[in-house]
């Protein structure tokens, strides 16, 4: 059994629709990279993916995010969720039952996930693909062809 983990993103629905109100996690992150990662997860892991938010931790696609926020794993001053909190959340949300974790995200997220799921098999299909543009192209091609990376 595999769990797919995708990243959140800094560009959110409230940046274009300030009055959007509380929104499902899968509809919040509208930057091209995060959006493509979510599309990839919905194509290949429709019932077993979560979004890793630097503020909220692991979010199921239909979980509601109340409002805009600006927290990032890249800046400790924004107070991102800790690895310990993520481990606890992963236990509570039943994510530890998965044998394999597929991380469809950049290297910063991969590092966090490896610490949370130590001892599990971690797959990183975007590794070595270069920058975001290359990763987006590879994911879009995989989605169109129905073939996982």
Name all domains of the chain by residue range, CATH numbers in brackets.
2-145 (3.40.50)
Question: How much is the pLDDT for 91?
Answer: 98
- Residues of the chain with pLDDT below 70 are none
* Contact call for residues 12 and 20 (beta carbons, < 8 A): no
Q: DSSP letters along 42-92, please?
A: HHH-TTSEEEEETTTEEE-TTPEE-S-----TT-GGG-PPPHHHHHHHHHH
For 91, what's the count of Cα atoms within 13 Å in the CB-facing half-sphere?
6
Question: How much is the pLDDT for 74?
Answer: 87
Question: How much is the pLDDT for 138?
Answer: 98
Closest to 139 in 3D by CA, of 47, 12, 6: 6
Measured in degrees and rounded to the nearest 5, phi and psi for residue 126 equal -90, -5
Q: How far is CA 92 from CA 4, 86, 88, 106, 115, in A?
A: 17, 10, 6, 25, 17
Question: How much is the pLDDT for 47?
Answer: 96
* Contact call for residues 13 and 112 (beta carbons, < 8 A): no
- How far is it, in rounded angstroms, from Cα 70 to Cα 123? 28
């Amino acid at each position: 059994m595999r769990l797919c983990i995708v990243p959140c993103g800094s560009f959110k629905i409230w940046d274009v629709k300030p009055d959007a109100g509380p929104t499902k996690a899968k509809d919040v992150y509208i930057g091209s990279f995060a959006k493509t990662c979510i599309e990839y997860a919905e194509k290949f892991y429709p019932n077993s993916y979560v979004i890793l938010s630097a503020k909220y931790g692991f979010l199921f696609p239909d979980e509601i995010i109340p409002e805009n926020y600006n927290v990032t794993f890249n800046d400790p001053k924004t107070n991102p969720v800790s690895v310990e909190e993520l481990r606890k959340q992963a236990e509570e949300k039943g994510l530890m039952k998965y044998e394999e974790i597929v991380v469809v995200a950049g290297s910063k997220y991969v590092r966090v996930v490896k610490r949370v799921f130590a001892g599990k098999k971690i797959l990183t299909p975007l590794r070595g693909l270069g920058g975001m543009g290359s990763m987006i192209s590879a994911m879009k091609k995989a989605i169109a062809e129905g073939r996982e990376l």
